[in-house]
A and B are shown apart, each in its own frame.
Chain A
Amino acid sequence: MTDRALEGLRVVEFCDELGSYCGRLLADLGAEVIKVEPPGGGIERNSPPFYKSAEPGPDTSLAFWVHNTSKKSVVLDLETSEGQQLARKLALTADVVLEDNPPGWLAARGLGYQDLHAEKPSLVYTSITGFGQDGPHANWKYSDIVGQAVGGVMTLAGEPADPPNMIYGNQANVCASIQAAQGTLIAVLHAEATGQGQHVDVSAQEAISMAQETAMQTWDLQKKNRVRTGERGSLPFTLPGLGVYKTKDGYATLMILAPAGADFPDLVAWMRERGMQGDLDEEPYASICQQLNMPFVTQVLSNPDSAAQMVPQLMHIHEQVAKFIATLTSVEAYEEGQRRKLLIGIVSTPQNLAENTQLRARDWYRKLEFEYLNKIIEFPGPPYRLSETPAVIQRPPRLGEHTDQVLAELRS
């Protein structure tokens, strides 16, 4: 048995998709997380995609699985007084209550912070909502894309001609859950040191807003709004070796002109080895290739006119690079490019990630046994490696899997 960092910490979770990842982080680190679910399960349990080799349903949702590992599941109907009483009794056995309901929803069922805190002053009670517990929008309806919009990150993503882009993966929910995990653990440390519990308030809008990068400071200091700039970024025209290139089977991101790593002539040398340098060894291209570095980019950014007459040549060089990259697979462009110290990133597909050399070499993926499906399914591993108390991922619970066990314990 390995030691667990959160051994002995009991968390009772009343979360659906907004806060479930927070519960997962705590559960994988060793907390006993008991998820209280409505009959039939919540939205996340019933969301696609489903595991294909079984009937779609609350026990086969991949959306539920990824955010609910290592937990226990108890079904209680909080619309009945019996369900509310059992939930209350259960919550009072916990060190932490974690919830993501609209403000006041649990309080109306006898499970609010004030109620529980009065009875158990050491309780840490974490509420994750779209907009936080107070303020004029506290009761606004929330969904992940709304969080990304009002949190200021969507406006930065996408082509100017398109609608702003959301980031895949319910990232406002993820950010809210990650912020909540930190707040909860700080409150736990304090409660364990002093006996004083408290209410932790997380707003998804605030939780993701740090991901505006420099937009907030740019407005504050310079009264300029950062906007979405699409494929070309802030460049006035395409520069060879900077941006997304098509490979034989996908895409790769080239950042050859960035200050790290080998320079553009090393890319041309690679092309030459494959007989793909075209006319880049001839003038005027050879001289231009020698100049393509970070100072050149800086100059183009500050004074686009200075390089304007070179645009046709730059375009030609870009096309030669594109032709070369198109002969490589994405993995080749990435691994062979990096071996040559060229700053190239694979645009990974899920399959690329599942096969990623580094992740496989370090045994990151975890095999979880789903005995009720008679299958072993690989899961993404934990976000961190703790030498003494590693995260341990256990399969997510079936709906109500632990109802009998937990209620029996409550009654005894």
Chain B
Amino acid sequence: MSKRPLEGIRVADFSWFGAGPIGTQTLCTFGAEVIRVESEAKIDSLRTVQPFALNEDGSFKTGYNVSGYFNNFNAGKLSLQLNLDLPKGQELAYRLIEKSDVFVTNFTPRVIDKWNLRYEQLKEINPRLIAVYAPMQGLEGPHRDFLGFGGVLTPVTGVSHMSGFPHRPPIGVGTHYPDYVVNPGHSVTAVLAALRYRNRTGKGQCIELPQIESVVNVLGTAVLEYLANGDNPTRTGNRSPVAAPHGAFRCADDPESKDSPDRWVAIACKSDAEWQALCKAIGDPGAANDPRFATFEQRKANEDELEALVSSWTAGKRAEDVAAALQAAGVPAGVVQNAQDMLERDEHMKARGYYVYLDHPETGRSAYDGPAFRLSETPGYLAAPAPLLGEHTMDVCERILGLDMDQIADLLAEGVLL
């Protein structure tokens, strides 16, 4: 395997849940050594929630190492158990941070204070450190200590108000969407920029990623519409101000699509040419010149009828056939895929080899998201499955923290390495 571009960078990963660990996962995939600092005294909840691997009889496996939720965000990392409630635990944390290039946490400001992990403290022990803090509201300000997690962040940042159909209440998007790409991706972007700055100047720095700021920044034009125009826009379902038809259209049910037999195809016509191509593909070329639909303005003015026309064609057909026929005609279209599609039925995903299967001592062979971007000369890869809780405590203590076996034994007995 080739040398990866971030080899030699060590990350002291004091983050948990989704957004923090996904960011350090990216660094790990491209070669950084990432040490997850964990404790059974304050377990990362993702280790304890579904989906769990199954036993042969179909019952759930138990313990801290069998959650697919946790494992998928932590492949290739090292797990060090450290109890930060004890002074000796904090001392070892400092020793690790001293020997690291990057420190990452998404603990709340209150916990950061309690464990003495403020940047002013850390830069004393390592002035070259790039320290990342990703609290929900920020490290300061009147809402600093507001409670929250992804389920609250989605409504607070406007994602809920702006998404979904207008006749429905703002129920959110079914997931803690900002946790998975937006927040971790922004924080890694900042870390990489800071590494470049440090390469040139030798200076470390503090990166704060207030999650609310990170997410509102990508809320399309909604906030700018208020700031610049005084408008207060709301959700418009699957419709678009620049394309029509634009939405998800129902196809024939598919009993092989487990638990979700209803099948849909997303379609977007961004130009009259794409609309004309769609009309040809559905065998109704006359519709292209129908005065209700001929121009974009007309299609927007008669959108209910337009959608009814498209639905009448998609109904009863296999979703995959609909998408392929439209694509063959040059119309943007794709099946609304579920995870079964993503992993097993999408020939393109398979050909690209996006998902990676790794042997894990407790879950067995299981799937992980692969690198989300591909570098032709120095590709990233998952070097190992997710670590068992504390799997690398001895290794990190000896190799990085410089402790000998007697010292480690004492620390174990004192409950520091717990």
Contacts and interface: CB of A to CB of B under 8 A. Distances in A.
B342 A225 contact: no
Contact of B151 (A25, A183, A216, A258): A258
A386 B69 CA distance: 30
B336 interface: yes
A5 B194 contact: yes
Interface string B206-239: 1111101110111111111111111111110110
Interface string A245-261: 01000111101001011
Interface string A235-273: 000000000101000111101001011000000000000
B175 A383 contact: no
Contacts of A74: none
The interface size bin for chain A is 35 or more
B158 A348 contact: yes
Contacts of A207: 181, 372-373
Nearest to B192: A185
B156 A346 contact: yes
A353 B213 CA distance: 10
A361 B51 CA distance: 40
B68 A220 contact: yes
Interface stretch (A86-94, A188-196, A280-288): A188-196
A186 B221 contact: no
A189 B378 CA distance: 11
A175 B181 contact: yes
A186 B6 contact: yes
A231 interface: yes
A189 B240 contact: no
B147 A261 contact: yes
Interface string B90-109: 00000000000000000000
A30 B275 CA distance: 41
A189 B193 CA distance: 9
A348 B337 contact: no
Contact of A220 (B172, B209, B330, B367): B367
Given A192-B199, A221-B54, A348-B155, A206 B372 contact: yes
Given A62-B225, A364-B213, 20 more contacts: A25-B189, A47-B241, A62-B221, A66-B221, A141-B331, A145-B246, A153-B175, A157-B174, A168-B159, A189-B196, A206-B352, A211-B180, A211-B181, A225-B260, A252-B155, A345-B156, A350-B158, A378-B227, A382-B213, A389-B194
B369 interface: yes
A253 B259 contact: no
Interface stretch (A32-40, A77-85, A130-138, A305-313): A130-138
Interface string A365-401: 1000000000001111111111111000000000000
Contacts of B347: 136
B68 A156 contact: no
Interface string B342-354: 1110111101101
B268 A146 contact: yes
Given A182-B188, A186-B192, A251 B170 contact: yes
Contacts of B50: 214, 218
Given A388-B197, A388-B205, A158 B181 contact: no
Given A135-B351, A148-B266, A182-B188, A387 B207 contact: yes
Interface stretch (B78-86, B134-142, B282-290, B409-417): B134-142
A348 to B, nearest CB: 5
Contacts of A105: none
B280 interface: no
16 contacts: A49-B225, A52-B228, A63-B220, A146-B334, A150-B337, A159-B171, A165-B237, A168-B163, A169-B222, A182-B373, A190-B377, A198-B377, A228-B174, A261-B147, A350-B231, A385-B209
Interface in A142-199: 142-159, 162-171, 174-175, 178-183, 185-190, 192-193, 196-199
B308 interface: no
Given A354-B226, A362-B141, A145 B367 contact: no
A162 B249 CA distance: 10
Given A167-B177, A179-B185, A350-B233, A196 B266 contact: no
Contact of A384 (B177, B186, B220): B186
B30 interface: yes
Contacts of A348: 155-158, 161
Interface string B333-374: 111111111111011110110110000000100110110111
A4 B225 CA distance: 29
B264 A384 contact: no
Nearest to B277: A141
A168 B219 contact: yes
Contacts of A225: 257-260, 338-340
B270 interface: yes
B226 A350 contact: yes
B339 to A, nearest CB: 4
Nearest to A47: B242
Nearest to A373: B228
A332 B335 CA distance: 42
Interface string A213-237: 1111111111111111111000000
Interface in A284-299: none
